[in-house]
């Protein structure tokens, strides 16, 4: 079957926001949440405490995001909940009043769209929460509840809070706070599709789907796609799939996945032995042990051959998220690892995503430390921010970085060179992850390019061409470059 994916995603730069931690506005909240007591904004985050960030606070920082070059925002859940991360949904039709309610989202959408910035929301459709009305009715009325078949009840009594008793219902990862929907029930399907359609009509530009692989009902995600795309054919549907995503990326379900298959090898290559094992060994991506350029190149080529090209161009590429430690901490504070990984992120096929604060050098270990508040200006790392600004600018300027084919030229030791080739231009990206100066030799004739009159777009390389059609790119240790090349 032919694969059709949203065109705008192929040109997008995403920015992930954890709403409670990005910006706290002074906007008046409504009703009983006017004067809550927040944790101190600058204190270390806790698993259960609220910092008080809201959607009005995001709206106040749209100028910053636009100036950075961001064109799309992905929000972790924003619907009414009783936890700071809001994966415990209470009401799928209400933005959490602590975040400003539906009116705040409406205002944010209007302001973002005026700046040509898209908004993608997190859809938690595998499970609800103990506070979700339909499950709470079962807790109150037991076998008499009309919604008994909405969930997977296995026995009585239910024990949603007592760990010393069997829960007697299926929950995500055996976590009692998250009762799992019975997706085989047509009423559940109708409800969840209605939620998806409601917010698309409201004006959002797509859905990121939480743990979609947990939904085993045949045809569920195909029907989800049909319902969403019928309202907005350009809506983006991206799944949280950490491993091989082939079952979901044939064109009938998702437009892309969170591309952790890019993340892990990229960290293992650029950070290498600097990776702090305890921050990555429990994750579902392979950022440890260190790998060399030959292994990295092979992994990238395998990844790119796995899916149709239009799917590759709408993959959601990332270096960190709310589910991982931050790269700066994983690499034990090594700035060069951040810069090299960011270079590879913004030159790889697919839509790059920045986890809020990474662009200014925000550190963070495992949850909840990876969900610190966005730092004050005085705490920004100006060099890391400059790297992000320049790479975002280049991605917007050069179509080869968005649509060009990816061809590996050199992959040996700590040296890696690849081409992004488009009919309108050819760019070369070279990386030296070793600590010493590297002279990377490659075949210009094989690549079909010449670096004789190449234009340096990023980095400080020294380039030479030879009569035997070879070329050399010389790079300082732990550095990379982007060259605009001529066809040979």
Number of domains in the chain: 2
CATH code, domain carrying 410: 2.60.40.1180
Q: Are residues 322 and 371 in the same domain?
A: yes
| pLDDT range class, residue 51, cuts 50, 70, 90 | very high
- Mean pLDDT score of the chain: 96
Better-scored residue on pLDDT, 33 or 277: 277
Q: Are residues 221 and 96 in the same domain?
A: yes
Q: Are residues 214 and 259 in the same domain?
A: yes
| pLDDT range class, residue 28, cuts 50, 70, 90 | confident
Return d(Cα 197, Cα 355) in angstroms, integer. 27
Q: Does the residue 300 lie in any domain? A: yes
- Give 307-342 pLDDT, tens digit per residue: 999 999 999 999 999 999 999 999 999 999 999 999
Q: Is the per-residue pLDDT at 488 higher than 60? A: no
Question: What pLDDT does residue 283 have?
Answer: 82
- Give 238-276 pLDDT, tens digit per residue: 999 999 999 999 999 999 999 999 999 999 999 999 999
Q: Are residues 392 and 438 in the same domain?
A: no
Return d(Cα 315, Cα 313) in angstroms, integer. 6
The pairing of strands 438-443 and 425-432 is unpaired
Closest CA to 433 of 301, 339, 363: 339
Q: Are residues 351 and 422 in the same domain?
A: no
Question: What pLDDT does residue 43 have?
Answer: 96
Return d(Cα 313, Cα 255) in angstroms, integer. 9
The yes-or-no answer on residue 468 being catalytic is no
Torsion of CA 149, 151, 156, 161, to 10 degrees: -150
Give the three-class secondary structure for 95.
strand
Residue 484: C-alpha distances to residues 113, 347, 394 (Å): 33, 13, 11
| pLDDT range class, residue 35, cuts 50, 70, 90 | low
Return d(Cα 425, Cα 266) in angstroms, integer. 25
Q: Does the residue 252 lie in any domain? A: yes
State the catalytic residue, choosing from 16, 20, 240, 334.
Answer: 240
Q: Is the per-residue pLDDT at 37 higher than 90? A: no
Question: What pLDDT does residue 31 have?
Answer: 65
The yes-or-no answer on residue 210 being catalytic is yes
The pairing of strands 256-257 and 316-318 is unpaired
Return d(Cα 290, Cα 269) in angstroms, integer. 6
- Give 413-424 pLDDT, tens digit per residue: 999 999 999 999
Q: Does the residue 152 lie in any domain? A: no
Range in 32-46, 205-219, 338-352, 391-405 the model is least confident about: 32-46
Among residues 359, 377, 397, the one where a domain terminates is 397
Q: Is the per-residue pLDDT at 192 higher than 80? A: yes
Q: Does the residue 164 lie in any domain? A: no
Range in 203-212, 304-313, 442-451 the model is least confident about: 442-451
Closest CA to 317 of 266, 366, 282, 283: 266
Please give the share of the chain, as a percent, with pLDDT higher than 90.
Answer: 91
Calculate mean pLDDT across residues 266-294.
Answer: 94
Question: What pLDDT does residue 65 have?
Answer: 98
Question: What pLDDT does residue 1 have?
Answer: 60
Question: What pLDDT does residue 456 have?
Answer: 96
Among residues 367, 397, 427, the one where a domain terminates is 397
Q: Are residues 328 and 452 in the same domain?
A: no
Question: What pLDDT does residue 466 have?
Answer: 77
Buried b (16+ CB within 10 A) or exposed e, 65-84: beebbbbbbbbbbbbbbebb
Q: Are residues 277 and 322 in the same domain?
A: yes
Instruction: Give the angle 292-332-479 at the CA atoms, nearest 5°.
Output: 50
Return d(Cα 275, Cα 288) in angstroms, integer. 7
Calculate mean pLDDT across residues 292-303.
Answer: 98
Q: Are residues 272 and 360 in the same domain?
A: yes
Closest CA to 315 of 1, 5, 2, 65: 5
Q: Are residues 296 and 336 in the same domain?
A: yes
- Give 101-157 pLDDT, tens digit per residue: 999 999 999 999 999 999 999 999 999 999 999 999 999 999 999 999 999 999 999
Give the three-class secondary structure for 267.
helix
Question: What pLDDT does residue 282 have?
Answer: 81
CATH code, domain carrying 208: 3.20.20.80
Q: Are residues 215 and 68 in the same domain?
A: yes
Question: What pLDDT does residue 450 have?
Answer: 85
CB 328 within 8 A of CB 361: yes
Question: What pLDDT does residue 47 have?
Answer: 95
Q: Does the residue 176 lie in any domain? A: no
- Give 379-410 pLDDT, tens digit per residue: 999 999 999 999 999 999 999 999 999 999 99
Listed in order, strand segments (DSSP E) in 11-155 are 14-17, 72-75, 79-81, 89-95, 118-123
First to last CA, the chain: 37
State the catalytic residue, choosing from 20, 96, 122, 210.
Answer: 210
Residue linked to tokens 């636009």 = 66
Question: What pLDDT does residue 26 have?
Answer: 83
Q: Does the residue 385 lie in any domain? A: yes
Please give the share of the chain, as a percent, with pLDDT higher than 70.
Answer: 98
Among residues 397, 423, 458, the one where a domain terminates is 397
**Residue numbers of the domain that contains 121:** 7-126+181-397
Q: Are residues 438 and 456 in the same domain?
A: yes
Helix residue ranges per DSSP H, 356-438:
382-397, 399-403
Question: What pLDDT does residue 468 have?
Answer: 65
The pairing of strands 449-458 and 479-487 is antiparallel
Listed in order, strand segments (DSSP E) in 88-181 are 89-95, 118-123
Q: Are residues 424 and 308 in the same domain?
A: no
- Give 341-380 pLDDT, tens digit per residue: 999 999 999 999 999 999 999 999 999 999 999 999 999 9
Q: Does the residue 136 lie in any domain? A: no
């Amino acid at each position: 079957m032919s694969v059709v994916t949203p065109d705008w995603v192929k040109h997008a730069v995403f920015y992930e926001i954890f709403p409670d931690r990005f910006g706290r506005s002074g906007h008046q909240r409504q009703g009983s949440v006017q004067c809550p007591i927040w944790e101190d904004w600058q204190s270390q985050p806790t698993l259960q405490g609220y910092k008080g960030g809201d959607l009005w606070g995001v709206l106040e920082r749209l100028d910053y995001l636009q100036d950075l070059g961001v064109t799309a925002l992905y929000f972790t859940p924003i619907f009414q909940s009783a936890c700071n991360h809001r994966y415990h949904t209470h009401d799928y039709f209400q933005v959490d009043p602590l975040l400003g309610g539906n009116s705040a989202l409406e205002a944010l959408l209007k302001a973002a769209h005026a700046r040509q910035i898209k908004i993608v929301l997190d859809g938690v459709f595998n499970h609800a929460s103990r506070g979700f009305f339909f499950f709470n009715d079962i807790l109150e009325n037991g076998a008499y509840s009309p919604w008994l078949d909405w969930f997977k009840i296995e026995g009585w009594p239910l024990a949603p809070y007592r760990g010393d008793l069997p829960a007697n219902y299926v929950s995500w990862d055996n976590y009692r706070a998250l009762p799992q929907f019975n997706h085989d029930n047509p009423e559940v399907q109708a409800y969840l599709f209605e939620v998806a359609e409601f917010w698309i009509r409201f004006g959002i530009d797509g859905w990121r789907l939480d743990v979609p692989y947990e939904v085993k009902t045949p045809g569920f995600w195909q029907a989800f796609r049909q319902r969403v795309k019928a309202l907005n054919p350009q809506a983006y549907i991206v799944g949280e799939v950490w491993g091989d995503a082939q079952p979901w990326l044939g064109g009938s379900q998702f437009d892309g996945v969170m591309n952790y298959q890019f993340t892990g090898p990229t960290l293992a290559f650029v950070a290498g032995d600097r990776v702090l094992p305890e921050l990555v060994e429990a994750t579902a991506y392979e950022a440890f042990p260190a790998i060399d350029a030959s292994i990295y190149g092979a992994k990238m080529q395998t990844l790119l051959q796995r899916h149709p090209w239009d799917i590759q161009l709408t993959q959601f590429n990332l270096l960190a998220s709310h589910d991982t430690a931050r790269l700066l901490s994983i690499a034990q504070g090594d700035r060069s690892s951040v810069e090299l990984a960011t270079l590879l992120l913004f030159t790889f096929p697919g839509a790059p995503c920045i986890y809020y604060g990474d662009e200014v050098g925000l550190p963070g270990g495992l949850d909840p430390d990876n969900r610190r508040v966005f730092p004050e200006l005085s705490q920004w790392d100006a060099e890391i921010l400059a790297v992000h600004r320049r790479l975002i600018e280049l991605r917007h300027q050069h179509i080869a970085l968005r649509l060009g084919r990816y061809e590996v030229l050199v992959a040996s030791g700590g040296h890696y060179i690849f081409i992004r080739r488009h009919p309108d231009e050819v760019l070369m990206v070279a990386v030296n992850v070793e600590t010493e100066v590297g002279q990377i030799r490659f075949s210009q004739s094989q690549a079909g390019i010449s670096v004789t009159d190449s234009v340096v777009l990023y980095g400080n390389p020294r380039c030479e061409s030879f009569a035997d059609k070879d070329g050399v790119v010389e790079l300082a240790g732990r550095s990379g470059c982007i060259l605009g090349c001529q066809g040979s």
